[in-house]
Amino acid sequence: MDGEVKLLTLVIPVEDDKRVLLGLKKRGFGEGYYNGFGGKVEPGESVSEAAARELEEESELRSPKLDKRGVLTFHYDDKPKPLEIHVFRVSEYEGVPAETEEMRPEWFAFDEIPFQKMWADDALWYPLFLSGKTFEGEFYFENTHDLKRHELRETTT
Ligand SMILES: COc1nc(N)nc2c1ncn2[C@H]1C[C@H](O)[C@@H](COP(=O)(O)OP(=O)(O)OP(=O)(O)O)O1
């Protein structure tokens, strides 16, 4: 993709407004961190199509209803383009979460989310996500992992 930003998706299944399904990333960008399921939007795909595809590829869950909750833009001093990540909530799905080549899924209660093993931005925007708000934000990283500053806003739908 040759735009000004690299488009990615992030899908977080939520059960009964009590727990979230995260995956321990086994390879690639963010290896060793827990995260939602997602990845790059491929040429010819809409963002929602990419989100549904990545959810199935990485967790074996299929969802007819992906609910867009936020857009987060990540800027890096050591990468050429910012990442624009579209965040979706999924509360209806088919299938059983299964370990895949890329992710090992695990349910976490809202108050037991392992933020110490996640990207530094997550502890900042998950409270909005978990409380059903919509949001947008900009995050500025140095050396890929050090979050130096951010702006985060609740949005109206
Ligand atoms: C920097 O902060 C980040 N925070 C969070 N919560 N998630 C992030 C951050 N940076 C990237 N991500 C997400 C976005 C995507 O869901 C994945 C990265 O996807 P990946 O690079 O693995 O994309 P794929 O298309 O799956 O790549 P391959 O098929 O080439 O492995 O992390």
Q: Residue 121: CB within 6 Å of ligand 1? A: yes
Instruction: Using the mean position of ligand 1's atoms as its centre, give its distance from the Cα of residue 149 in Å.
Output: 20
Q: Which tokens is 85 given?
A: 């990540």
Q: Which residue has the tokens 């010819």?
A: 44
Domains of the chain: 6-155 (3.90.79.10)
Q: Which residue has the tokens 């040759």?
A: 2
Predicted ipTM of the assembly: 0.95
Instruction: Give rounded-to-5 percent helix, strand, coil for the chain.
Output: 20, 45, 40
In this structure, how many other beta carbons lie within 10 angstroms of the beta carbon of residue 1?
A: 11
- pTM of the predicted model as reported, rounded to 2 decimal places: 0.96
Q: Classify residue 129 by its DSSP letter.
A: H
Instruction: Using the mean position of ligand 1's atoms as its centre, give its distance from the Cα of residue 39 in Å.
Output: 5
Instruction: Using the mean position of ligand 1's atoms as its centre, give its distance from the Cα of residue 131 in Å.
Output: 23
Task: Tell me the pLDDT of the chain (157 aa) as tens digits.
Answer: 457 999 999 999 999 999 999 999 999 999 999 999 999 999 999 999 999 999 999 999 999 899 999 999 999 999 999 999 999 999 999 999 999 999 999 999 999 999 999 999 999 999 999 999 999 999 999 999 999 999 999 999 7
d(CA 3, CA 26): 28
| CA-nearest residue, atom 2 of ligand 1 | 119
